[in-house]
Structure 1
Amino acid sequence: MKIVVGITGASGSIYALRLIDVLKEAGHEVHAVVTDSGWQVLEYECKVTHSDLQARVDMLYDNANVGAAIASGSFQVDAMAVLPCSMKTVASIAHSLSDNLLTRAADVMLKEGRKLVLVPRETPMHAIHLENLLKLAQLGVKIVPAAPGFYHRPQTIAELVDMLVGKICDQLGVEAELFPRWQG
């Protein structure tokens, strides 16, 4: 599969890095785009630089380049995940603003009927956040809040991250056994 990973300035960039690693380990082609504030959070939370991320993905795009391949429906991409997804990005996608490459790529996923997964990290949310998420869910976007479960009795932060990344993989249609499934 060819998958785009979008990273915004919400807290939780560790989820995006782990997803990229899981996708690459499974042999998928990964394209990435990061907002300006996304770069700030990647560096602050994970000490990841532009060159670090570029080494992890097949293609890293400049978010200002709205003419990049992922901005066109003729570029064949199977799915896109935006994580963490800021409420600004949610609003831009919900209202088709397409004011940067990340939101344009997400808009393309919607218009082409391809898989789009958003991982909002905001808490608490107010009514406008929820309305925008509802609007997107009604369009078929999968909303996977950055809220890992605890039924698998995680002992480390890595296990919490893997649980959420596993749920994202489920929505992307990517096989990954990252956490024990509930057995009842």
Structure 2
Amino acid sequence: MNDGATRRLVLAITGASGAIYGVRALDALMRAGVETHLVISRAAHLTLAQELSRRPAELAAQASVVHKVDDVGASISSGSFRTMGMLIAPCSVRTMSEIASGVTSSLISRAADVTLKERRRLVLMVRETPLHLGHLRTMTALSEMGAIIMPPVPAFYAVPRSLDEMVDHTVGRALDLFDIDTDAVRRWNGMAASRSEAADDARAQ
């Protein structure tokens, strides 16, 4: 997938609920040694404060490069700037709709458009429920364009012991799509193995 490009990934955090997914993705990418290009929408400033009491400056200190959301001339706005792809976590319906329509009113939608046209991997952790027909049709259109729609659905088969584990597992599965391995994913080895692991965890507590 990387075809010789530097191990760099574009990470965008939009204003949908679930800012923790973007924060944990940034943490995991940093630990994996991946160069991160971070873009935070204006609405995400609000959700970061509301949900996590975090300031964008704290995240900026962890990212390799930070781009302003209105800087449509940034490096990631050009297909000649090689990346592994782009993860939007969480992805708002507005951002999803902009990408599907080809509207590029911000650096986030522009970078996503570039990712699609260069046939790189675009993963959208769309955070909305319930979904009406317009949402579903937009997701279908994006899937036909080559994007991967990955709502942050909890994996209960992994028997998470905490909300943190549940979030980290979901983020790890999203990064799997870029061939970035983390230690956060409890891999499925079959029903018997899963029961044995769960019993081991119970005894360890």
Aligned to 2:39: 33
Counterpart secondary structure, 2:90: strand
In 2, distance between residues paired with 1:146 and 1:121?
A: 7
Q: CA deviation at 1:176?
A: 1.4
**Does structure 1 retain, via aligned residues, the 8 Å contact 2:19–2:51?**
yes
Residue identity opposite 1:43 in structure 2 = A
In 1, distance between residues paired with 2:33 and 2:25?
A: 12
In 2, distance between residues paired with 1:129 and 1:19?
A: 25
Asked if residue 46 in structure 1 is aligned to residue 52 in structure 2, the reply is yes
Q: CA deviation at 1:152?
A: 1.1
Segment drifting more, 114-123 vs 47-56: 47-56
From 161, 165, 179, give the equivalent of 2:167: 161
In 2, distance between residues paired with 1:173 and 1:180?
A: 16
Aligned residues: 184
From 66, 83, 90, give the equivalent of 2:89: 83
Residue identity opposite 2:27 in structure 1 = D
Within-5 A mapping of 1:1-184: 1-184=7-190
* Bigger radius of gyration: 2
Determine what percentage of the aligned residue pairs are the same residue.
40
**Does structure 1 retain, via aligned residues, the 8 Å contact 2:37–2:65?**
yes
Residue identity opposite 1:110 in structure 2 = L
Q: Give me the CA root mean square deviation.
A: 0.9
Residue identity opposite 2:129 in structure 1 = T
In 1, distance between residues paired with 2:105 and 2:40?
A: 13
Residue identity opposite 2:107 in structure 1 = L
In 1, distance between residues paired with 2:12 and 2:168?
A: 18
